[in-house]
Each structure stands twice: as C-alpha cells, then as structure tokens.
Chain A
C-alpha cells in the first residue's frame, strides 16, 4: 500500500518530465510523491520517439535548455541501466536541392554561434554516413550532439533511480488542489484521497492546462497530434536520426493544418521509427490513413530500402503545445506553492532532465542553472471570459 503521509513535494504526472522532476528533487534530498491517473509513461512520453535534439532548435531559450539537457543526458546514460537505450547517434539533416542547402547552412551558422556543433556534409559524402540514403540529395548537416533514448524506460528508470525518496501513486487522478487560508498550495485531492505537500509540480504534459485550471490559473496547453509508423525489426539500416530540412520549419510552425516531414531513425530493438506529423485536431485518436500514407511516402523517398520492408504498426500521441513553442517551467506567482513543468511540445524527452534540475533548484531555493524568465508560466494573458487573478 502506498503511504499517504506528507512529502516535501507532489509531482503530478509520471511521464519523463515528471520522472525527471522527481529524480532531481530526490537527489536534492526532498521526499517526493508522484501521482498519475494512468501508468508510468502512459501519455505523451510513451507515444514519442525519444528524441534528444539540438539540431531542430533555433538559437534562443529552448536551445539553451537543449544544450544543457544534452550534457545531463550523457551523465544519466552512465547512471541509468542500459534498458534506457541511450544512443549518441547524431542527427543528419538532409536537403534535396541547393536552396534547401543554403537554408540549412544559414541555420547551422546561427546555431554554431549558440554552441551547437554542426558539420556540413556534401551530397557525395552522404552515403558514407548513411549508405541506404536515396541518391541525388544536395547535401546535409551532421549534428553529433543529437541523441536518442527509449522514452518509457527512461521515465521508469529515472523514477527508480530516485530510490526511497520517491513514492508512486499510479491510477489516481487529481481532482482538486488543496489550499490553505492564504491560498497557498497544501497538496492535492485524488480519486483515492488527499495527499499533502507544500509544493505541487504540474508535470501533466498535454493535460497541464487542465491541472492549472484546478489551481485557478490560466496555462493554454493544447494537443498537437503526431503519428509514428513502425517497421518490422531490421538490422541497423539507418545509423543516425535522419530528417528532411523542412522538418525544422514544421516544428516552428503554429499552423493547425496537417504537416508532415520525413524523420527516420533506427532503434536498438530493431524497428525503424518513421515520423513526423503535426496537426491540431484536439484529442482525436482516430487513425488517419492519409497521415500514414504521407509518412510512408516521405520515409521511402529518403530511404528507398524501406519500401522493401513491412510497416507493422503505428501509434499516436499528443504533444503539449504552448502558443510560443516554449515550455512552462518554474514557480507560478499566481498560486504560491505551485510549479509548472509542462508544455514541452515534441521536445519533452530531451528537455526532461534540465526541466527537473530547474524545478529542483526552485524547490530548494538554489540558483537555477539558466535564466528561466522565458519559461515563466504566467506569460499568457487570460482569455477575456476568465477574470484575471
């Protein structure tokens, strides 16, 4: 039976971000209760590819997070068991024509000033890196800092690495936040009873906006749906994370319409994962054959060999999207005791450790490892119908 005695902090959400918050808080000496209405990695964490990317990020606050996260993941890879399947495989962004190559060159030059390593690969050298790539591509850029993990295992192993200081309450949905006379957070009410702590971390991912609402604060997290197509198990046919140059534009776009760009990567277990689609259709879980057709077409255009193997399944997830594409990380001045760690869109696996480190610093009164002002959770004006707090 999980104990219901008070802890120093309650983390709502057992995805990879919640797990990282719990892990770093436990490391800082705090006792942590993690609550999730489902299992570990039951939401967006279990529906991703496990990308740890710097290559797709423009210079700015998110890239700073990603660069620090890259270092933290390397440390975690030494500490966590091999099941997390950390692979420092590097990313390879390819362009089909010269104009695409010029755009990549300009993008990479700006990234390099911000601390990213990017190496130009001429078209005739692409096959040294990826022998199965389609012929005739103009060239690409290699990003050695890009890596990959198996996200569900990463979340589970982070929680376990926190040891006795982390208590898990799975299958318990948070129905209310408990507050004291001054409006300060005192804990959460769940479907199984009350849990007490002076701090609550909102790591509810795509459902973080709903949790914020329970606390009476506005945080407009929206779902951005994505499908992944999975091939039968194969030997290593794709060495890096390989994607087409237009992926970067799709990631940064705010459009609700369907966008697909080819993203292809192998996994230690054998299947090749094929993405990526983005569309804002709410929490609709209907299978879209049009999306799958486009994913398959994009992947086989990049890697014709994939046209000779079977796709055996597909899965979908909902990226937690905030209007300015930045996560919400840190204390919420509108609700003392409440901290947010959500809204990472498609970068949550990669940004989980740095998010956890920031949250742990906020909880213990330490200096965060970077400027968290761009991620302040109260930066979105409340809609007209809701009176501002």
Chain B
C-alpha cells in the first residue's frame, strides 16, 4: 500500500467520517479540505468550465487560482482547497458559474 502524508508524519487523526460527491460516499479525515478528501478518493474534477464544459479540479491548492470551485451544500463557487470537510457535506459538480438557475 502506498504511503500517505499521514503515514509520513506519523499522524494519528480522529476517526474518519463521510461526505458525498454527487451522491457517492467519500471518506474524509478531520482537518482535510474538501479537495484533499476528493483527491484521496481518486476524484480529480468537480467543476466544468463555462465555455466548452471542460473538467476542472484543484490546481494551485492554496486558494489563489480559483480553479477548484465546487458547490458545497448547495452554495456554488466555494474553493474546495480551502473549505474544511465536515461530516455529511454534500459536494456537487458545479456547472460553469454555478448560477444556471438564475438564467432568464
């Protein structure tokens, strides 16, 4: 089994919990960001671009590039690399700007 950052630093985190990504169950550890939890589950993309619908996920990982925007518990445009995962969080793939429902 591959070594994880938690193994490398000898971390002993509190028990894991579950969040969901587009309805699929994902295990997260306390202190992990949403992006880290999704990456840990092998999920690399959780948004599509406004033009062309291309996939996007974490890029800079430090809150600067805004590429990792996701819809978290119904709120669009959250930076997944900064938002801590909480038990029961529902992450959904964000289509473009995340405001399609406002279109007239």
Residues of A in contact with B (beta carbons under 8 Å apart): 130-132, 232-237, 239, 270, 305, 309-310
Q: Are B77 and A310 in contact (CB under 8 A)?
A: yes
Please name the residue on chain A nearest to B103 by beta carbon: A235
Q: Are A270 and B97 in contact (CB under 8 A)?
A: yes
Q: Are B50 and A233 in contact (CB under 8 A)?
A: yes
Min CB distance A25 to B, Å, is 36
Q: Are B104 and A309 in contact (CB under 8 A)?
A: no
Q: Which of B50, B77, B96, B103 contacts A237 (CB 8 A)?
A: B103
B contact residues around A270 at 8 Å (CB): 50, 97
B102 at the interface (CB under 8 A from A): yes
- Complex Cα–Cα for A234 and B95 (A): 12
Q: Are B102 and A305 in contact (CB under 8 A)?
A: yes
Q: Are B104 and A236 in contact (CB under 8 A)?
A: yes
B99 at the interface (CB under 8 A from A): yes
Q: Are A309 and B103 in contact (CB under 8 A)?
A: no
Is the contact region of chain B dominated by helix, strand, or loop, or is it mixed?
Answer: loop
A131-B104, A270-B50 as given contacts; A235 in contact with B99, CB under 8 Å:
yes
- Complex Cα–Cα for A110 and B102 (A): 37
- Complex Cα–Cα for A130 and B100 (A): 17
Q: Give a binary string over B36-70; 1 marks a CB under 8 Å from any A CB, 0 the rest.
A: 00000000000000100000000000000000000
Nearest 10 pairs between A and B by C-beta? A235-B103, A131-B104, A233-B97, A237-B102, A234-B99, A236-B103, A235-B100, A235-B99, A235-B102, A237-B104
Please name the residue on chain A nearest to B104 by beta carbon: A131
Q: Are B99 and A239 in contact (CB under 8 A)?
A: no
Min CB distance B51 to A, Å, is 10
A contact residues around B102 at 8 Å (CB): 132, 234-235, 237, 305, 309
Other contacts beyond A235-B100, A237-B104, A309-B99: 7, CB < 8 A: A130-B104, A131-B104, A232-B97, A234-B99, A235-B99, A235-B103, A270-B50
Min CB distance A329 to B, Å, is 39
A232-B77, A232-B97, A234-B99 as given contacts; A239 in contact with B50, CB under 8 Å:
no
